[in-house]
Chain A
Amino acid sequence: MSFVEYSEFIQEGDVAIIFLGHDSMMPVKVQQGAQTQTRYGVIRHSKDLIGQRFGTKVTCSKGGWVYVLHPTPELWTLNLPHRTQILYTTDIANITMMLELKPGSVVCESGTGSGSLSHAILRTIAPTGHLHTVEFHQQRAEKAAEEFREHRVGHLVTVRNQDVCKEGFGVTGVADAVFLDIPSPWEAVKHAKNAMKRQGGRVCSFSPCIEQVQKTVEALANEGFQEISTLEVLLRVHDVRSITLPLPDFGSDQPLETPTDTPVPSNASVLCKTTTPPRDMAGHTGYLTFATKPSV
C-alpha cells in the first residue's frame, strides 16, 4: 500500500480505511496482533486484515460487518486528524487542474497544515515529481513529515519548518507550481516568484477573506504575474430518495346518493424517485486566486 500506488493485499504497516456505512469511516494502522473497536464489534488485524484483499467485507466480533478500503488522498481528507482547518476535495480538484499538476511536476506549498492537499499533490506528481512544503509550526511540520513516511511517500516530499514570508520555500527556480494557504499570502508572492522556474509556472492562493484576495491580487500584478483570476467553487450534493406523494381526491363526477355523507378517502399515491438537497451545505470555503508567471 502507498498513497501513490495501489496494491491488492493488506500488509502490516499499511494504513487502511474502515468503511462502516453511510459516510462513516475510520483510518487504521494495520499491525500484527492489534485490534480495532467498532460499533459492529472488534476487528482483529492479524486474522481479519493482514493478507486480505482491499475491498473485502470483514465480519466483526459482534456479527456486524464493515468494508476495508485502500487509502486514497480523497479518503484521507475525510478521515485525517485535523490539526488545522483543511482543504476539501472540491477545492483540491480545482487547484490540481488549474495549477496543471501532473507526474513530474515540482510543487512548492505553504502552509502544510494537516497535509490534506499535500497528499493529493503527492499522488498527482508521483513518481518523478517533488513537493517542497513549508510549515512554520514545528510540531505540525514534524507530524506531517512522520505521516508522509508512514504513507510511503517520504521520498517525494521535503518538509521545511520555516516562515515562507521571511525565508521563502528553501528552493529557487525549480517549481512548476506554487500554492499558498497562509494568512498573508501577499507577503510570500515574491518568494513564490523566486521559487518558480524562470520559464514560467502557475501560482494559486487560497484565502477565506476577500480583503486578503484583494491584497494578493495587487501583489501578483505588481510582480508581473498574468492571467490573474479569482474564483470560488462549491459542491452541491443530491440525496437520492424515493418519495410517495398522495394524490388529491376530487371525488366522483357522478352525483352522490347521499351528498351529506363524508365520502371514503382514496389512498391513491404516486411513487417518485428524485433527489433532495441536504438541509445545509458548505456555503464558503475560500476564494481561489490563480495566476501565471510569465516566461522571462
Chain B
Amino acid sequence: MADNGDNDSQHRVNEGDYVVLKRGDIYKAVQIQKKKKTVFEKQWFFLDNAVGELYGTTFEVVTGGILQPRKPKCVESSADAKEAGMDNRNILDDGKSQKLTRDDIETLKEQGLKGQEIVQQLIENSTTFRDKTEFAQEKYIKKKKKKYENSVMVLRPSCRVLAMMYHGREPGKICHLRYDTLAQMLTLGNIHAGSKVLVFETCAGLVLGAVMERMGGYGSVVQMYPGGGPVRAGMESFGFPSRFHDTLHEFPICHVNALLAGALDTEAKDIDAGGQEKKVKMEEKRKKLAAAAAVLEGRNADGLVIASRFHPCPVLLGLIKFLAPSRPFVVYSQYKEPLIECYTKLREQGGAVSLRLTDSWIRHYQVLPNRTHPVLLMSGGGGYLLSGTTVAADTPKMGPTRGEEPPPKRLKLTETTEG
C-alpha cells in the first residue's frame, strides 16, 4: 500500500506530542520527548523510535529500551491441531507441572528472547499442556502472553482512552467517575461546537478536557475553580492544539457572589506593591478575570457540567444562575444522597424541568466461539448523575409545582383486627 507521506503527517507521532501508551487494558499518558526514559508496566524504554510512525502502531520493547515497530501480521499460531485432551479429570494441580524455574525464565529474558518465544518455552516445558483441552490451552497461552509480552501501543489521546486510563489507574483523582458515566454527561449536557459551557470539576482536568474535545475549539468554556488555581493536568494530556486554549477561560468561585450581585470590579488599578514582573503578572490575571466575567455576566451559558468532591447542591444552585433558559445541566456525584438534596431543592425553587437522577450499569463480554459470556469481574458502580433542563424563572411563589412525585400514601397505623 503506497504511503503518501504528506497526507499522513497528521496521523503520525511527532516529538512533543501527548500520547497514551497501551498494553492490554493498561494505559498511561506521556509526552514524547527524545532521549528521555519512560517507565511503563515495570519496563523502561525510550520513545524516540515512535516519532514518525503512525498512531496506533504497536512496538516491541527490545534490549536497551528501544522500541521496534511490530510487523502487523504477527503469525497467530493457531493451535496447529496439536495434541489436546478432552477434559481435566486427570490433571493434577500440584504446582509442579512447569519445569522451568523462575531463574530459568529470567535467564531466557536476559538472553533477549521475545515474549512469544518465552511463551513457547513455557509450553514445551509444561507436563500438563498437552492434556489440557483446546480451550484451556488457548486460555493458558493468552495468560502467559499477557504476562511476558513486551509490546506497547502508542495511541492518540482521546476522551475514551484517557477516561479509561484515569478510572483504571487513579480513580480517586476523578471522584471515581467511570467512563460510561462521563459519556452520559457529555451527551446529556448537549456539549457541542459553538456553545458556551461552564465546567466546575475536581477530576484533574479530565472532565474539562472531555468537554473541550467535544467542542473542537469552537465556542467557549469557562472553568470555574475552587482555591488558588485551575487544575488542568488531565486536560493537557489531550494534547489540544493551541487555538483550543484561546477558547478556555477560568473564573475563581470566590468571586461568584460578587459577580452575581454586580459588585465585581475588574477595572485596571495602579498597584504600587512589587516590581515590574509582579505588575505584569497581576495585570495578566486581572485581564483573564475580566474576560471570564464578561463571558459569565450575560447569564446566557448553554450548558453546565459539575463533577467534584464538593457538595453538589450549593454548587449547582449557585452556578445554575449563569445558564440561559432551556439549556441542559448535568451534575455528577460519587454518592446518591447529595443529589437527592439537589433534586429536592431544585423542585422547591423551580426553574428546572425533566429532573432525573440516574446511574448507569455496564458489563463487558468475552466473545469466543462456544465461550461467550459476561466477563467475571464487573464494575460495582460508576457514580450518579442528576440532569435537567432550565426554564424561565417563575414569578415567585407559583404554588405547588405540577407534581412529579405522587402524593405520599396515607398512613396505616393499626391493623384492624376485629376481635
Contact = CB atoms under 8 A, between A and B. Distances in A.
B326 A69 contact: yes
A228 B367 CA distance: 9
Given A89-B187, A124-B214, A213 B365 contact: yes
A102 B214 contact: yes
B365 A238 contact: no
A243 B408 contact: yes
B390 interface: yes
A295 interface: yes
A98 interface: yes
Classify chain A's interface size: 35 or more
Contacts of B160: 97-98, 100
A294 interface: yes
A233 interface: yes
A234 B360 contact: yes
A74 interface: yes
A78 B402 CA distance: 20
Contact of A103 (B188, B193, B302, B372): B193
A241 interface: yes
Contacts of A69: 326, 353, 389, 391
Nearest to A94: B183
Contact of A230 (B216, B364, B408): B364
Contact of B365 (A54, A230, A234): A230
B369 interface: yes
Given A92-B187, A126-B192, A295-B55, A275 B402 contact: no
B194 A198 contact: no
B201 interface: no
Interface in B383-401: 384, 389-392, 394
Contacts of B180: 93-94, 97, 233
B275 interface: no
Interface stretch (A1-9, A131-139, A164-172, A186-194): A1-9
Nearest to A202: B160
Contacts of A213: 365, 367, 372
Which of A124, A197, A296 has most chain B Cβ within 10 Å? A124
A287 B411 CA distance: 44
A93 B188 contact: yes
B235 to A, nearest CB: 15
Given A57-B391, A273-B340, A275-B357, A73 B190 contact: yes
Given A72-B328, A231-B364, A210 B372 contact: yes
B361 A236 contact: yes
Nearest to A233: B362
A45 B410 CA distance: 43
A170 to B, nearest CB: 21
A127 B193 contact: yes
Interface centre among A72, A217, A236, A242 (most CB of B within 10 A): A72
Nearest to B414: A265
Nearest to A98: B160
A93 B190 contact: no
B158 A292 contact: no
A121 B38 CA distance: 37
A55 interface: yes
Given A224-B72, A231-B363, A234-B361, A102 B392 contact: no
Interface string A273-290: 111000000000001010
Contact of B343 (A123, A228, A237, A240): A240
A240 B384 CA distance: 13
B195 interface: yes
B177 interface: no
A229 interface: yes
A44 interface: no
B358 A236 contact: yes
Q: Which of A8, A128, A235, A246 has the most CB of B within 10 A?
A: A235
Interface of B: 1, 8, 11, 54-57, 72, 158-160, 163, 179-180, 182-184, 186-188, 190, 192-195, 213-218, 300, 302, 324-328, 336, 340-341, 343-344, 353-354, 356-365, 367, 369, 372, 384, 389-392, 394, 402-405, 408-409, 411-414
Q: Which 9 pairs of residues, A with B, have the shortest CB-CB distance?
A: A55-B325, A103-B216, A55-B326, A93-B187, A97-B183, A199-B11, A295-B54, A54-B326, A230-B365
